[in-house]
Every structure is written in C-alpha cells, then in structure tokens.
C-alpha cells in the first residue's frame, strides 16, 4: 500500500500531481491510501516519492470540474473516490460521467452538489463586521461551512470586495485580503469575531428594513435563512422581535407611506463628525439614514439589498454626488466602494483632495438593476425615481451645507440643477444655485466604459482637472466666507 499525504484539506495541486503520476504509473486505486498532513496515517502504507510521470494524460474537462468541486467536500473518502473516477476514465471508460446511476459517479455528483450549496450559503449568509485594526478599517466575517469551501470563495470575495481589507474566519482555516493580496491562515474561534460593533447595528436595521411584515411567513423565513445560520447573523437577534411586532409595523408602514416626506420628523441634534462610514445614529444625518433605510417612496427598494446613504464629515466643504449605488455598494452599504469608487479615489488623490474630508453620496440611494442570470445589470434611474429620492439628498444638502457640490454625471446634475445638463458644455466651472454652488463633471463609470486606452487616459486627466478645479473653487469660497 502506498501513502499519499496532501498538504491540506483542499490541496488540489497536490492531489492532481499525485493522481497524474500514479495513474500513469499504473497504480490501481486500491493500492493507495490518501491522507492529509497532520492526520493519523495508515501504519501499513508506505510513503514513497511519486513515480516519474511519463506518457499522455488527458482528463475530460467535465471530470476536472467535478473533481474541483467534490474535493472541497468534507468526506475523507473523496480523494480516493475521485482517483477511482480518473483511473476508470483513463482505462477507457470515456463516457463515464454520462452514467449518472453509476454508484461512484452518483456519489461524486452528490458531493459536488452539496459543496455548491454550501458555497452559495457562504456567499449569501456571511456578514462582515467592522473591527479596529492598527492598519485601518478591516471587515471580519465568521462562517461555519459544512465543507471546505473557504478557499474557493475567498477568490469570489476578493473580486467582489476588492477595495476593502477583510478576513473571513472559519473553524478550519481563515482567509485574509489586504486590498491587493490574498493569504490563508489557520482556523479561528467564534470569539475572535467581535459581536458588539457598529456594523452589527447596521445589519440589524438592514434586516429590519427588508423584513416585510405584510408578508410574514415564519416557515418561508426559515427556509430563506436556514436556522442553523442564524447565529452567524447579527440580524437574527431581531427576528423574534420582528415577528412579535409585525402587526403594529404593518400599520406604521401604511402610515409612513401616507405621510408626506417633509413631515418626517428629524431629531434636533446637528453633530459634526470627521469619520467616514455610517453616520452616528444620534446625529440628524444618522437619523435620516435610519429613516431612509425604510424608504418605500419608489419601487427600487424591492430588489435592492439595502439603502446606501451618503457618508463623510457632516461639515465637509465638498459634497461629491454620483448616480446610484452599484453592485458592490448595494452589498456593502457604502457609496463608491466598487470599481468606479476606486477610480474616483485615485483621481481625488491626484487632485489633492482627501476622500475622508469630503461627503460622498448619490442622487438615488437604491441600486437599480436587471437580473440577468447570476449577474445584476445596472439600469439608469428615471425621473420619478430621482424625484422620489430627492428628499434624502435634500436632507444631506441641508445638514452638510457644502461650499461646493461636485455633480458626477447626468443623473446627479439633473437631481440638483433640476434640468438636463450637457456635461461637455458645462463641466469644470462654478455654477451658482442660489446660496449653493455646484460643478459638473463626468461620472467615473464613464471612464471605465471607454473602449480604448488613449481616450481613457485623456478623459481621466480631464476628470482630475475638474476635481482640482473643484478644490480651488471650494478654497476660494471658504476664503470669501
């Protein structure tokens, strides 16, 4: 008996290399004992170097894909099972995977399906919480997967939340992203995930805002968010209360819908903050953000994950206004954190503006999109949606009272100036709006969409020039105050 020791539970490269060498050397499945480093090894199995692999070795693409999924299953037999399938295919069973009733094929398919489901749950139910980190903001999420799905999903999270620093902790392993590189570390304990922080309240109120008491159906809720995942979710603490208060909330919802927006009471406090991130709940902006999280003034809330309110110091001199949150902003709940936000941040830096000093928001606070397969395709908000959301932008303008509003793109320009604006004609100069001032420029997404590098570089320089001009105008206005 020959022992193969893999480095870790999802050592795909190790398994593949060993499988290739052993199949080509004609080592039958029953002669191999598969192990993971650190596990008890078979006393009668011999650890020997892999034989030199010679000859051609082609494995069907479908079998490779099946193995890549099934190897993540928490089943100690999976390495041997997958080896047997590759062995059989190499022995001439070319249509092996088409025999769905074959016990080995069926078992591998079951494992792959279960891994796929577990991956889906991880993406859907993992919640990040903000933690203090000496190197800046970090978001930490805790999840107890059924299978070894962290590594494959870490790549997904790196793509989706590329601009943030985050860690995902599981009992068997952890993944860490520093904004540019992914690293894997040891497993963690639930106690390493803080449960008493700002983001927790955020998630709770998010869940409360998407919880529609008029459609209360505890059984459906439990299947949407299986009970065993509840303990990962800060909003789970809200579930019993939500169910108890459902009747009252239907009435409150109806009342809220009937009340004109300008009658929505805001508290008396007007606080100044210099932090980016969600507004402090006791401030007027914080209260507005809280109310906006329940906004039903148009239909966009139905599909969106959450309301994305503006963020930044309440005494900012410059307010940057975009169109609406994109895919990543919708998931994270913060404006301009996706690709357009990263481009904007770079341009701001080149223009000598510290993003932490400006207030960043959008004309429309919900993500408008069309689902297409697994993707969510951005859709431009229309007049009624911009108008329905104007109440929130108005609160932000009143509270922040910026010296200058930078209107990025046609939607922001239309929302603030109140008419269609030709960006090319009006960009880069001060536009007086009564006591307020604005400057129009392009939206950073426009730069991302440009087809060739030359026009991208040219338009980016023009964008930086507009932002530089905005900084100068804001300084002039501050000096004249």
Q: Of the ranges 52-60, 82-90, 320-328, 467-475, which one interacts with ligand URA (CB under 6 A)? A: 320-328
Q: Of the ranges 141-149, 269-277, 292-300, 338-346, which one interacts with ligand URA (CB under 6 A)? A: 338-346
Q: Among 205, 287, 324, 441, which residue interacts with ligand URA (rule: CB under 6 A)? A: 324
For the chain, the farthest-separated pair of C-alpha atoms sits apart, in whole angstroms, at: 87
Q: Are 129 and 141 in contact (CB under 8 A)?
A: yes
325 binds ligand URA (CB under 6 A): yes
Query: What tokens appear for 326 in the block?
Result: 């994109």
Residue closer to ligand URA by CB (options 234, 310) is: 310
Residue closer to ligand URA by CB (options 125, 446) is: 446
Neighbours of 337 (CB within 10 A): 23
- Mark 442-481 with x for binding to ligand URA (rule: CB under 6 A) and - for no binding: ---x------------------------------------
306 binds ligand URA (CB under 6 A): no
Q: Are 97 and 66 in contact (CB under 8 A)?
A: yes
Sheet strands side by side (includes 430-433)? 359-362, 318-322, 404-408, 436-441, 430-433
Neighbours of 306 (CB within 10 A): 24
Q: Among 27, 69, 289, 340, which residue interacts with ligand URA (rule: CB under 6 A)? A: 340
Q: Among 362, 368, 402, 442, which residue interacts with ligand URA (rule: CB under 6 A)? A: 362
Query: What tokens appear for 263 in the block?
Result: 């009658």
259/418 Cα distance (integer angstroms): 24
Residue closer to ligand URA by CB (options 82, 321) is: 321
Estimate the share of the chain in helix, then strand, then coil, as percent rounded to the nearest 5: 50, 15, 40
Nearest distance from residue 256's CB to ligand URA, in Å? 26
Residue closer to ligand URA by CB (options 19, 306) is: 306
393, burial (CB in 10 Å: exposed 0-12, middle 13-18, buried 19+)? buried
Residues binding ligand URA: what is the number (CB under 6 A)?
13
Sheet strands side by side (includes 2-6)? 32-36, 2-6, 46-47
Q: Among 75, 118, 200, 329, which residue interacts with ligand URA (rule: CB under 6 A)? A: 329
441 binds ligand URA (CB under 6 A): no
Q: Where on the chain is the footprint of ligand URA (CB under 6 A)?
A: 322-326, 329, 335-336, 338, 340-341, 362, 445
């Amino acid at each position: 008996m020959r022992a193969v020791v893999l480095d870790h539970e999802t050592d795909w490269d190790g398994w593949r290399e060993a499988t290739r060498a052993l199949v080509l050397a004609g080592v039958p499945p029953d002669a191999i004992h598969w192990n993971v480093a650190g596990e008890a090894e078979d006393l009668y199995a011999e650890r020997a170097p892999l034989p030199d692999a010679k000859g051609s070795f082609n494995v069907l693409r479908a079998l490779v894909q099946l193995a890549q999924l099934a190897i993540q299953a928490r089943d100690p037999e999976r390495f041997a099972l997958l080896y047997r399938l590759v062995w059989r295919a190499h022995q001439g069973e070319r249509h092996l995977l088409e025999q769905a009733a074959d016990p080995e094929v069926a078992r591998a398919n079951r494992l792959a399906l279960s891994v796929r489901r577990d991956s889906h749950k991880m993406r859907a139910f993992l919640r990040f919480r903000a933690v203090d980190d000496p190197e800046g903001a970090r978001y930490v999420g805790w999840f107890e997967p059924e299978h070894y799905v962290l590594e494959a999903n870490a790549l997904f999270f790196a793509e989706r939340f590329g601009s943030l620093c985050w860690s995902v902790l599981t009992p068997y392993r952890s993944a860490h992203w520093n904004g540019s590189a992914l690293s894997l570390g040891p497993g963690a304990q639930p106690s390493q995930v803080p449960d008493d922080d700002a983001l927790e309240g955020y998630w709770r109120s998010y869940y409360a805002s998407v919880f529609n008491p008029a459609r209360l159906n505890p059984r459906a809720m439990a299947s949407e968010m299986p009970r065993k995942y509840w303990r990962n979710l800060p909003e789970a603490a809200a579930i019993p209360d939500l169910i108890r208060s459902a009747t009252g909330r239907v009435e409150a919802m109806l009342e809220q819908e009937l009340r004109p927006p300008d009658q929505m009471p805001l508290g008396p406090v007007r606080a100044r903050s210099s932090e980016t991130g969600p507004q402090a709940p006791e401030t007027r902006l914080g209260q507005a953000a809280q109310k906006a999280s329940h906004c039903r003034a148009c239909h966009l809330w139905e599909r969106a994950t959450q309301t994305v309110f503006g963020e930044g110091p309440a005494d900012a001199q410059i307010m940057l206004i975009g169109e609406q949150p994109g895919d990543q902003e919708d998931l994270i709940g913060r404006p301009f954190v996706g690709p357009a936000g990263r481009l904007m941040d770079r341009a701001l830096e080149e223009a000598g503006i510290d993003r932490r000093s400006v207030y960043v928001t959008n004309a429309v606070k919900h993500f408008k999109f069309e689902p297409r397969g697994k993707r969510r395709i951005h859709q431009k908000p229309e007049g009624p949606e911009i108008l329905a959301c104007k109440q929130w932008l108005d609160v932000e303008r009143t509270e922040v009272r910026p010296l200058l509003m930078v209107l990025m793109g046609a939607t922001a320009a239309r929302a603030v100036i109140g008419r269609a604006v030709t960006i090319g004609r009006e960009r880069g100069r001060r536009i007086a709006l009564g006591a307020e001032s604005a400057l129009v420029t392009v939206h950073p997404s426009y730069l991302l969409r440009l087809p060739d590098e030359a026009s991208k570089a040219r338009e980016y320089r023009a964008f930086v020039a507009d932002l530089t001009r905005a900084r100068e105008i804001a300084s002039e206005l501050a000096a004249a105050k």
